[in-house]
Amino acid sequence: MKEEFRLDNQLCFRLYTASRLITQTYHPLLSEHGLTYPQYLVLLVLWEKDSQPVNDIAHRLYLETNTVTPLLQRMEKEGILIRRKGDKDARQMIVSLTEKGIGLREKLADVPFRVGSSVMCETVTPDTAPSLYRMLDGIIAKLTH
């Protein structure tokens, strides 16, 4: 068998597996607050900067607006955020956190540390993590352009 066809030689398989397992690590931490991992990502974006257009949130998450919109609708029904028409352009929807959404930040404050400690190992440490982020950012940039 050619080496390039071995599963162990596929970067995509390693990235997929790591992503899936990390998402599984988040699940019990988020589900106790009624959240999914994609909803948590939306919260992270809005905690950085509240009151953003749907397009900006989608862009930040590397998703299409038609993927993000149903997610935002569910979060709105749960009272985590509100959507309103833009002041300058009524076609644009602005997303803002409610008190509940803001309050989740404190309730979920330990999540990054708990997941981070699950990921840290011999090769991924607080010292090597920035280098790993740069490598992954390079892959993401290459694939999005």
pLDDT confidence tier of residue 53, bands split at 50, 70 and 90: very high
What phi and psi, each to the nearest 5 degrees, are found at residue 100?
A: -60, -45
pLDDT confidence tier of residue 91, bands split at 50, 70 and 90: confident
Tens-digit pLDDT profile for residues 108-132: 999 999 999 999 999 999 999 999 9
User: Is residue 46's pLDDT more than 90?
Assistant: yes
Of residues 72 and 89, more confidently modeled: 72
Tell me the C-alpha distance between 42 and 83, whole Å: 13
- Domains of the chain, first to last: 38-107 (1.10.10.10)
Cα distances (angstroms) measured from residue 44 to each of 29, 142, 143 = 15, 24, 23
Residue 89, pLDDT score: 75
Tell me the C-alpha distance between 15 and 50, whole Å: 30
> What residue type is 123 in one-letter code?
T
User: Is residue 1's pLDDT more than 80?
Assistant: no
User: Is residue 90's pLDDT more than 90?
Assistant: no
Mean pLDDT calculated for residue range 3-23: 95
Q: Coil, strand, or helix at residue 95?
A: strand
